[in-house]
Structure 1
């Protein structure tokens, strides 16, 4: 386990921190506390977080223009005004199924948005992975228990995703122009500890948060384990490359499921961490919508 310089970006504890992303143009990081319905906004230059109460559980976002975000929430996709904070429904998703909520998501280099759902209590095979392509949503994979680690190779030709409950990460060939599968998923790797959120750097390496393992695992595109970087929170949930040169790593964490003794033994539980990893990171892509 390697140690790198690490600091607390936000001491506010997230019940279930997830879905971090970063806007280089404004030097602003965003992430969610899914279970408490909160969206965090931090300008890295000031490191003073703002908390936006959404009124619903949400787990991820993507930018589609300078003033708006697409929020992935428990009952669908919402367009959110960054300045006003107002939200309007763009597309319902499993809105008629109160047993599920949104989870992991990421934008493909083409602008196609992969999003996922899961059971609120991680019910077996209750979740699915979808793609928002040219303003239409299609279901890619069903019978997923805890979808995570959605990310893409730099050229957009490979997609990755995991089912945390099955301790398995998959690899699938994609059409780089559309971000849609052109083959069946195959097993990339199996990991004893929890495979949670992931990002891919400019060299194609996969940076994966290890839920329960207090680390970020780094894998090659062939699934070879290369490094493990220690995170000062046991339930690390998702990483994002941040900073003007995208060389730092923001990592969300969570205290869900931890009793009082477990929280006492994990002093940074639920906090949002900033790690000096000297990465060759990549900027997140904007989602492409058919119409605003």
Structure 2
């Protein structure tokens, strides 16, 4: 279990989150919503143990994340940042295989079973690109490689910052489907940031909503993702409608009186 107690987040003196309690359990998918600059990426980096909380604590299985060694953390949780800079020219296969490094003893590097790697490539429809140089890929293709690399780590907790960026609709839906499957079928814990409210509502069991002014809500998705809460957090009227037995949200149009 990944938990946060009375978590506070601040950047350059600006308070992003005043107090947030989280309980992220195996089998759950938590989406993080909020306007630009609200602290979504800061929250994910703090949960991943990549920055210290500005108050409160973050614990993985009851132990402060800051007390884990980098290798211990790498074997327990995976983190996908918003952007990755390619320092070396690698094939897609090599880039995904490199993500297995924390699970391998030093002397086994290069001799490991590549089944998890090939499974991840197949899952994200990268088989035909396996021998391509990653520096020749489109932005969407490169993002799918990043996601495949995270899946091949086989960690208990998966933290993804804007995983849908650069992806077309099909691969957005595929990624969200696989994240839900990893949680519900494999017992992993998933937390991801996202801008599309409707995709989040359809592919999450829980939600975390930040407004950038210190307020934060967390809980079951259908309790957090409501017209009232969304309108307050995004500072814009957002209406909920029922369609085919599901609830969808749309932003109210601006008129000249709003400009």
TM-score interval, normalised by the smaller of the two chains: under 0.3
TM-score (norm 1): 0.26
Q: Which has the higher strand share?
A: 1
Q: Which has the higher helix share?
A: 2
> Could you say which structure has the greater relative contact order, defined with CA pairs below 8 angstroms and 6 or more residues apart?
2
